[in-house]
Structures are given as structure tokens and as C-alpha cells.
Structure 1
Amino acid sequence: MVKKTLAVIALAVLALFAVPTAATAAGYVAADKVTVSGSAVAGGTVVVSFAAGAFAAGEQVSFACTGSGTATLSAVKAATATLVKTADASGATSVNVKLPADATGTYTVTATGVTSANVATASITIGAADAGTTGKALASTGNALANTGYNAPMLLIWGAAGVLLLGIALVVVMTIVRRQRANA
């Protein structure tokens, strides 16, 4: 029985240390080397830049963009747009993402170094259109937003909690005293 238990523990420890090495097999590019700029609205163009050192110098970098609708990477348009570009001498590169006119939700741009296997990702979240862009003004009821919270003073809340704790302590002390008197 002891041998089986030790074998199970040894396998569990082995599995625990084997899984993280598989997850770090590819080189991941730090988030501070990825910059998203431009107009993240439906129909807008966003530039995703990867700073120097993100990829090897002169390396081929494969870009993929996924999201709802059809995005355009530089000149390629598809449901999942892909494009291959060459990084400059410092390992930096960028790609233009043209969002569709009916874009909603989040788009993910993934850049993968062909030889270094470095992977960088950027998320582009499309903001909701405001009233000015639809041409229709929002109707105003003249009322403020509904109050969904409880506006009690914090002193009252802490005081009530203190009284509750004192009551519990009193019950515990009275129980202990009663038991001691019964046993005496």
C-alpha cells in the first residue's frame, strides 16, 4: 500500500513539473513591447506595433487577426486574416488592421516569429457607438440614474457589527459560566 501511495505521489509531482515546461516552449513577447494605436471603432484603422527585440532581426513574422466579422490586415481580407511581413534590423515590426464597418466585440492580433517562434498578441476592443454617430438623440426622461445601493453611514454599519460581536461574546461567556457552575 505504501509503495502505491509513493508511486502516485511521484507521478503527481512529475506531472506538476512537466506541464509548465510545455507552456513555456514558445518565446512570448512581453506586453510592454506591443503597442496599439489608432481608431478602435467600427470602420477605423488600428496600427499594432511590436517594439525592437520582439522578434529576431530580419525574421519573417506571421500575423493573424481573429474576431467577429472580417478584418483587413494591410491588404489581406478574410474571416481570419493572415499576413507575413519581415521584421526590421532591430526585430521591430507593425501591421495595419482595418476594422469592418459592422465591427463589434474584441479582435485579437497574433504575431508569430517564423524562426524564433516568439509569439505576441494584441487585443483590440471596439467601443460602443455613441448617440452622436447614429444620428438619433437619446430620449431623456429627466430623471437621474436609479440608486441601487444602500446609503447608510459607515459608522452605523460598524457599530451594528460591533454590537453583534459583543452579543455573540456575551452568549459564549454566559455558556461557559453556566457549565462551570453546573460542574462545581
Structure 2
Amino acid sequence: MLAVLAIFAVPTAANAYETTDGSDVTIAPGQAVTLTFSGFDANEPTTASAPDAVTLGVVKVVTTFSRPADSAGVVKYTASATQPGTYTITVTGVSGKVAVGTLTVAPTDSGAGSGSGSGSNGALPNTGLETPMLIIWGAAGALALGIALTVVLTIVRRQKASV
């Protein structure tokens, strides 16, 4: 009986604190935004954590950051990311209260594009020479033939003049 009571009591103790309000925002790549989390105790120290693709605070390599909540139990963290996607930012207070926010980085608009290979049809853009290789080789062959003909005619003309 005691074992059954322990099984049901442990999950209840682990879930004693509810998730508090967090922020759900959408930004453009590279844009910084302030996320607001509430429901913490007054002046409670908190720690925010995020995936590696998200930057918390002003330091580029920080994926965890700590700061105290204000007197109303609200804490704000600045976050940014350059890769499109949806990222979860979790803020945990020392009391065990947890706030979860979602940072969505929207992909940039590809635009209408112009010319061939703009990528608007899903194909890769054409960044090379657009003249077909057959035309290039044909022109190079005609040029080589013209130079050879000029050299032969010059040699024949000199031979006739010397005879």
C-alpha cells in the first residue's frame, strides 16, 4: 500500500508549480525582441535557457541567461535568432516556477525576382554564363578557322611573290 501511495505522490510533488505566462512572438531573422514572462515571486532569481540557434541577452554565444524578476514577479529577456524556425525559451525561477515562451523566426520573403533563374519557381538561380556552350564552341571554332585561313593565304601569297 505504501509503494502505491509513493508512486502517485511523487508525480504530484513534481508538478506542484504551474507553468506561468510566457511570450509567443514572431520576428524576422536577426531581429531582437524582448520576451516577457510573469508569475514568479517578487525579486525571484530566474534563469532562461534556449536552443543554440537563439541568442539570449547581448552576448552572441549565450544560450542560458540569469536575471531576477521585478517586484511584480515579471522578468524580461532579450532574444534573437538568424535561422528560421520555432524555438522554445524556458525560464525557471528558484522557487521551481517555470514559464515557457515561443520565439518564431519567419523566413524572409524571397521576392518576385526578375530574369531567368530567380529561384521563384523553386529552382536554383543561374549564376553562370547564360550563352549555350554550343554557340561558344562554334564561335571559337570559326575564329580558329579564320586565323588558319589567313595564315595559309599569307604563306601562299609570299610563295607566289618569291617565284
Give me the TM-score of the superposition, normalised by structure 1.
0.53
More helix by share: 1
What RMSD, in angstroms, separates the aligned Cα atoms of the two structures?
A: 2.9
Is structure 2 residue 36 aligned with structure 1 residue 56? no
| Candidates 73, 78, 85, aligned match of 1:96 | 78
Identity across matched positions, percent: 34
The 1-side partners of 2:6 and 2:58 are apart by 45
Which runs of 5 or more residues in structure 2 are unaligned? 123-163
C-alpha spacing 1:86/1:125, structure 2 compared with 1 (3 Å):
same
In structure 1, the residue matched to 2:100 is: 121
Cα distance between partner residues in 2 of 1:84 and 1:133: 43
Determine if contact 2:45/2:67 at 8 Å carries over to the other structure.
yes
Counting only pairs closer than 5 Å after superposition, residues 158-173 of structure 1 correspond to structure 2 as none
CA distance in 2, matches of 1:119, 1:129: 32
Q: Give per-residue Cα distances to partners, 1:35-94, cap 9 Å, x unaligned.
A: 234x5222122221013xx11111111111115x3x22112332x611111111111111
Gaps of 5+ in 1: 1-9, 141-184
Query: What TM-score do you get using the length of structure 2 for normalisation?
Result: 0.59
Task: Answer with 1 or 2: which has the greater Rg.
Answer: 2
**Code of the aligned partner of 2:71:** A
1:12-45, Cα deviation, whole Å (9 max, x unpaired) = 95476245314414x2333xx22234x5222122
Residue in structure 1 matched with residue 58 of structure 2 by the alignment: 75
- Determine the structure 1 residue equivalent to 2:34: 47
Alignment match, 1:138: 120
